[in-house]
Chain A
């Protein structure tokens, strides 16, 4: 994304841009750092889609089931209170989990659902509290989300973001750090 994209108005991105989406893999190495700071990854991660017709969602399910039949990871499907669809994948090894999310998304993009992708969410636990890392497919960047009761612990989020800014592409514009309340992880 450079000057020419600005001049020619090409800065609006969708989930079909693969070069940027490889950035999601950075969370593998970032997790090592998080673990050294006392945050341990949880065994599931979610891929969130914008609402789509039932027939489309059935196609997504069959595409994913077909390609995952040989994989060792488990997965499930769910729809949340906003009408958004989730594919939740499980793996007790974090690197495997990231790889699983990535390969799942790859299949979906190949089958033309890239435009419907919203985000992927990874979870960590620190002293019983959950810390989420949200990957936005539109912006190709990560941002933290730390719920604290019904609010968010913004101080913690800002600290986490600066802790990991070398490890991964952190969303610089904090006004885009939209929370994902109660992700089904």
Chain B
């Protein structure tokens, strides 16, 4: 039933494909330059090892860095029941469930594959959202697992990480070399900087497209895009920023407001891992209309 309603978003698929293609072109160009110099092979191996470890232990690493705690069924029976139901709908094995003790409402999914996946929610999220909204958010996270986003983004970041290492530590490769060697190292260094910057922007774009895809996944699993929309509004952080002190009171304290020096829309757009709230809502509203017709 769920799969029948699933209609592919051609535009999104195309954008994802183009981003990955561009990324591949940049990486191949960079590797072509890099392959001229034997001494960089170990950087490649080192980066591969690092990234693999990061990926393989992603569940433990992320849980540890976020201060998340795995909770059993007896501790959070309702949350477990909800995830089970959604997993059945999404045709996924049940992931581990973790809770982060913080007021900031948020959720994330991690883990190298379906069998080692973890879905974590914050206590703030559990407090803020209604049952249906919570389900929508959980379904979004399950979609990340189902779409293998962790794997895709890890692979996409590999060469970028190599470029970053060389950019950062290029100076050490130059020690003891002749003038000719130094010139080559400078070339590789410049190539690394360009590769890193371009791939960074492309990876962020890819990450945003995966968010759109997970939003769609959530809508198809729950069948209710509206719940995700209202959940997104609640956790967007925009609401957390809205002040409660009266303007007249604040104006009395500050002689003038200071407009943040960096307000560039484009910059924030290019560098963020998540698409802007409005765009996500718009995509979900379109989906809502489409699902209404079926």
Contacts and interface: CB of A to CB of B under 8 A. Distances in A.
Contacts of A74: none
Interface string A70-104: 00000000001010100000000000000000000
Contacts of B241: 173-175
A155 interface: yes
Contact of A179 (B234, B243, B281): B243
A178 B243 contact: yes
Interface in B247-279: 247-252, 256-261, 263, 277-278
B239 to A, nearest CB: 4
Nearest to A155: B233
A119 B247 CA distance: 9
B233 A80 contact: no
Contacts of A48: 248
A118 B248 CA distance: 8
B260 A178 contact: no
A159 B233 contact: yes
B245 interface: yes
Q: Which of B246, B247, B252 has the most C-beta atoms of chain A within 10 angstroms of its own C-beta?
A: B247
B261 A175 contact: no
B41 interface: no
A134 interface: yes
A12 B258 contact: yes
Interface string A163-181: 0010000001111111111
Interface in B230-247: 230, 233-234, 236, 238-239, 241-247
A173 B242 CA distance: 9
A158 B239 contact: yes
Contact of A118 (B251, B263, B277): B251
Interface residues of B, number: 28
Nearest to A118: B251
B247 A162 contact: no
A176 B244 contact: no
A23 interface: no
Contacts of B230: 155
Contacts of A13: 259
A180 B243 CA distance: 11
A50 B245 CA distance: 16
A110 to B, nearest CB: 22
B91 to A, nearest CB: 33
Nearest to A81: B248
Interface in A139-185: 139, 151-152, 154-155, 157-159, 162, 165, 172-181
Contacts of B249: 82
Contact of A174 (B242, B248, B259, B278): B242
A120 B278 CA distance: 26
A174 B250 CA distance: 15
B281 A162 contact: yes
Nearest to A180: B247
A138 B246 contact: no
B248 A162 contact: no
Contacts of A178: 243, 245-247, 250
Nearest to A144: B242
Contacts of B233: 155, 158-159
A155 B252 CA distance: 28
Contact of A175 (B243, B252, B278, B281): B243
Contacts of B263: 172-173
A158 B256 contact: no
A36 interface: no
Given A138-B256, A175-B242, A158 B251 contact: no
B127 to A, nearest CB: 15
B246 A154 contact: no
Contacts of A119: 247
Given A152-B244, A177-B243, 17 more contacts: A12-B259, A82-B252, A118-B247, A138-B256, A139-B257, A139-B259, A152-B242, A155-B230, A155-B234, A155-B239, A158-B239, A174-B238, A174-B242, A175-B241, A175-B243, A176-B243, A177-B242
26 contacts: A12-B259, A13-B259, A50-B251, A80-B248, A118-B247, A118-B251, A119-B247, A134-B247, A138-B257, A139-B257, A152-B242, A158-B233, A158-B238, A165-B278, A172-B263, A173-B260, A173-B263, A174-B239, A174-B242, A178-B243, A178-B245, A178-B247, A179-B243, A179-B246, A180-B247, A180-B248
